[in-house]
Structure formats: C-alpha cells, structure tokens
A and B are shown apart, each in its own frame.
Chain A
C-alpha cells in the first residue's frame, strides 16, 4: 500500500457527505445549527455592507471616540468574550458528564449575557439623552442612528434570545434533562452571537 492511497482515502473521507444519520460526521441537529449560523451570518453581512454603503456615501460621519465611551464598549466586549469562554467550558464539562459544572457555567454565561444587555441598555439610554435616535442626531447624519440601532438592536435581540435559552438550559442541566449534544447546540449559537459582536465592535465602533 503506497502512502498516497492513504492520503487519497483521507481526502475522500473529508469530501464524503456520508449522509444517513450523520451528514458530514455530525448529528443533523448540529448541521442544521451550522446552516442557521451561515444564514444568520449573511443577514449581518448584509447589514454591515449596507452600513458600509451609507458610510461611504455620507459626506461626514460622527467621530466614534466622541459619540461612544470606548472604554465602556470595550468592557461590554470583555463581558461577552468571557461569557463565550464560560459557555465553551460548559460544553467541555458536558462531554465529561460533569453536570454540576455545566449548570453553574451555563448560569455564569447567562449572567454575562444579562450584564451585556444591561450595559447596552445603559449605552442606548445615554445616546437617547444626547439626542441620538433612529431618525436623527446632533451631527445631522441620519444614517448613523439608522444603522447603529438596526445593527446593535438586531445583535442585542440575538443576545436576549440566547439568555432565555441559557436560563432554561441551566435548569434542565441541573435536573438531568439535557444531553451533551444539547449543550453543544446552545453553545454554538452563543459563540455565534459573540462572533457577530467581534465584527460589529470592529466595523462600527473602531473603524
């Protein structure tokens, strides 16, 4: 057996759908979650591209360091990344069947999500007081408020849905009503929410 046939077999194995109960070597539930993540990612890609159009077409754009408290947004980013890490820990613990740790880590992740939402509500409140709304703002660049509230609002809604899922999951894990695969699905969604924030944070707050 020459070694190249082994390599080819490995390659065919990689390209092989396999079908049946485990397409691409994963459960159909996980595959569906990945397909959802791709479609949802394309939704945000569309929003961000629209924002790119509005921003390049605009003669001026508010200076983010003037509008936002960058240290506060960085803190929000810290909270969300940390909640992603606790969620990953929960998934790893679920694989080891350490359900007590799963429950506490998922609760901690929920707390991170709730804290992120509160911080976002506080940030929005501050912007409202400064006269930034979805239809207008002190810098006379309506597109700024449009896209800001559209994108962060859609992302925040994803976080909100995630926190509800996590809260339910934490109790179900404690009651022994969930499986490692179930925790993993919730984890995939939660990491996706974190992933979207990486793009929003960079493209809206920093660039």
Chain B
C-alpha cells in the first residue's frame, strides 16, 4: 500500500526480465538442434507467450475492456492463421508437384 507509485515500474521491469529470459531460452533451444516439428512447436509457443505479455503488460490491455484484447488478438491471429493455412500447403504442392 505504501509507495504504491513505485509498483507500476516494478511490474514493467519484471515483464522485461521475463521477455529477455524467454528470448535467451529460444536462442538456446534453436542452437540445440531439436527435431524440426518439436522445435517449431516450442518456438511458436514461446513467441506467442512473449506477444501475450507485451500486449498485456506493456500495451496495457489488462486495464482495457476484455473485448478490446479479444478483438485485436482474434483479428490478427485468426486471419494470420487462415493466411498460413491457405498458402503454406500450396508451397508443399509447388515443391512436390513441380508447378
């Protein structure tokens, strides 16, 4: 309760530490040479975790109405996923079908 004006800074720098720790872990996992699929799953999970904390803590979505965060995340992630799902399989088709 006392020194409540200090607390916003504390949370921000904790988030900073978490983001850096995740980045270091990602780079180490990358150079470790995991199997391809496992590497993809781990890295994409860590990436989305970082995105979550940046938007929640730094962009202050935790203090906005929940629907704002849902609208933003859904728009970008859902349409991003659709784009990937529509386009990337074509890449395999081009590679193997030679068209």
Contacts and interface: CB of A to CB of B under 8 A. Distances in A.
B9 to A, nearest CB: 6
B98 to A, nearest CB: 10
Contacts of A84: 16, 54, 58
Interface centre among B15, B55, B58, B90 (most CB of A within 10 A): B58
B84 A195 contact: no
B54 A195 contact: yes
Contacts of B8: 92, 95
Interface of A (DSSP majority class): helix
B38 to A, nearest CB: 12
B96 to A, nearest CB: 10
Contacts, number: 137
A106 B76 CA distance: 28
Given A57-B90, A91-B60, A199-B51, A34 B12 contact: no
A58 B88 CA distance: 11
Interface string B28-47: 00110000000110011011
A202 interface: yes
Given A41-B76, A199-B47, 8 more contacts: A34-B72, A48-B84, A49-B84, A70-B30, A191-B58, A192-B59, A199-B51, A202-B47
Interface of B: 5, 8-9, 12-13, 15-16, 19-20, 23-24, 26-27, 30-31, 39-40, 43-44, 46-47, 50-51, 54-55, 57-60, 64-68, 71-72, 75-76, 79-80, 83-84, 87-92, 94-95
25 contacts: A25-B65, A34-B68, A37-B72, A38-B75, A41-B75, A42-B76, A42-B79, A52-B91, A53-B90, A56-B95, A57-B90, A57-B95, A65-B30, A88-B12, A184-B60, A187-B58, A191-B54, A194-B58, A198-B47, A198-B54, A199-B47, A202-B44, A203-B47, A206-B30, A207-B40
